Amino acid sequence: MTGMSGAGKSTLLDELSRRGHRTVDTDHDGWVTDAGTWDEHRMAHLLATATDVVISGTVENQGLFYDRFEHVILLSAPVDVLLARVATRTTNPYGSTPAERAEIAEYVRTVEPLLRRGATLVLDGRRPRDELADVVDALLTASQRTAGSRREPLRRRSVAWPARRHRARKAVLGKKNEPPAKAALPPRGKTERATREGGSTILGNRKSHPRRGGSS
């Protein structure tokens, strides 16, 4: 699962953990190097040995692992929702200053569209936590049922990130799916509708509209 700060990634990851799924929040426990990227050796080992795991993180080199993910989920919310959440949360200090909130707004404009292009599923972060967890639950169950079947491996893709990294990174990734298109990134269930947009499925309670002019 990936997305902007304040999209609700930590909340969803906590609920999935409560339901008994193995989860990894790469914002903690040394998964991210000083350069703002995943520890590639450690991540490769995890994905080679874990059967089912939900990983949260948004980093420059996550695309290198897309060929080992079943799903890449973007959790998204309007910028005003994100800014309201980060201004009041107590679990993560990032977003507490005007400068950081301006940075998040810029990331929504420049980074999120690129994350969307690499996602296999886009979820509306305004939906209730339990509904979002139901969607991911269903994906995990389906993956377990087809674990023995052959799947076409997806291409790896590295992406170039900016000098400043997104400090509140969190993403849910499964095993094997579509990589993002190569592009330069700027700095760091119950769902009622599903539509196709730019290769991604968007789930939510409201009618989705096609992307215009490359924006979401």
The residue with greater pLDDT, 69 or 166, is 69
Residue 140 main-chain phi, psi, to 5 deg: -65, -40
**Longest Cα pair distance anywhere in the chain, in angstroms?**
50
User: pLDDT at residue 53 above 60?
Assistant: yes
| CA geometry: angle 95, 184, 58, nearest 5 deg | 40
For 99, the enclosing helix (H) or strand (E) is helix 98-110
| CA geometry: angle 9, 11, 14, nearest 5 deg | 105
How much is the pLDDT for 105?
Answer: 95
End-to-end distance of the chain based on CA atoms, in angstroms?
A: 18
pTM: predicted TM-score of the whole model, two decimal places: 0.70
Binned at pLDDT 50, 70 and 90, residue 149 comes out as low
Contact 96, 180 (CB under 8 A): no
- In DSSP terms, 172 is beta-bridged to 73
- List pLDDT tens digits, range 154-190: 455 545 454 444 444 444 444 444 444 443 444 443 3
